[in-house]
Amino acid sequence: MKRIPIVAGNWKMHKTIAEARALVDGLKPGVAGLTGVEVVVCPPYTALAAVREAIEGSAIALGAQDVFWKEKGAYTSQVAPSMLVDAGCRYVIIGHSENRGRFGVPEPEMTEALLRWFGETDESVNVKTKAALAAGLIPIVCVGETLDERRAGKTDEVIAGQVERGLAGLTAEQVGGMVIAYEPVWAIGTGETCDTPEANRVCGMIRSVVERVFGADAAQAVRIQYGGSVKPGNAKELFSQEHIDGGLVGGAALEAESFTQIVRAALS
């Protein structure tokens, strides 16, 4: 089965509304008319409406950076799946390592008490994923290991557990239609990139977990991205691997030229 690669830009906590519009205006000419790759931008909540307007008529899809698992209620600051759909989103990132309180670059002011604010767990990833799917959103579920876990030889154990628990209770059809992003925590925002063969191996391991739990059809259909310091200089090599179906891009997605180059790397 030929999987269409997907390149998504996670803007994180960057871009005012005006800056978001300018970025999309710069991006549209570079990706216009491209076929054989899906392009997604995930701005902060405040810029969703502006970006929706800016991408109208283009092939760029809109995504959000997180979602809550309830449709309404007394949940101050949370955003429901139906609200994201109403805002024009097609995709939503779930379980990013930063939401789990797992950072590639230690921040001195992030004490243990403050890190508890980032309370994402495999259980919350699971209920968010189910809620997103029920609303018609396509989840981009993030998994990845820390540097300590990798050094301890626990990469496969940690990631397999995240996949199994995060996707528990889903159907094979649901899993086959979603996206999983492998983002080694130690490579996010650090400039370090997982060696291409190892990135492919881990993505292949994720696919084997999906096959074991959900069957061969789901494993062949699910798209698995690599994320973690993806740049124009390494994107082509990464995206040429058997099990890597595009990228979840952070810093390099904040400039139209670099993100366009990464998108085009998925075509070759």
Active site residue 96: yes
Residue 236: exposed, middle, or buried by beta-carbon count in 10 A (0-12, 13-18, 19+)? middle
Which phi-psi region, left, alpha or beta, contains residue 33 (left: φ > 0; alpha: ψ -120 to 50)? left
Enter the tokens of residue 252. 């390099």
Q: Annotated catalytic residue: which of 96, 145, 149, 243?
A: 96
Enter the tokens of residue 64. 């959000």
Residue 178: half-sphere exposure toward Cβ, Cα within 13 Å: 29
Query: Whole-angstrom Cα distance, residue 101 to residue 117?
Result: 8
Give the predicted TM-score (pTM) of the model.
0.96
Maximum separation of any 2 CA atoms in the chain, in Å: 49
- Give tens-digit pLDDT for 139-162: 999 999 998 899 999 999 999 999
| Contact (CB, 8 A) for 67 and 84 | yes
| Contact (CB, 8 A) for 65 and 95 | no
Q: Comparing C-alpha atoms, which of 122, 123, 125, 219 is closest to residue 172?
A: 219
- Give tens-digit pLDDT for 74-128: 999 999 999 999 999 999 999 999 999 998 877 788 888 898 889 899 999 999 9
Q: Which domains does the chain have, with CATH numbers?
A: 6-265 (3.20.20.70)
Active site residue 14: no
- Give tens-digit pLDDT for 208-267: 999 999 999 999 999 999 998 899 999 999 999 999 999 999 999 999 999 999 999 999
- Give tens-digit pLDDT for 249-262: 999 999 999 999 99
Alpha-carbon Rg for the chain in angstroms: 17
Q: Annotated catalytic residue: which of 98, 145, 183, 243?
A: 183
| Contact (CB, 8 A) for 28 and 58 | yes
| Contact (CB, 8 A) for 146 and 155 | no
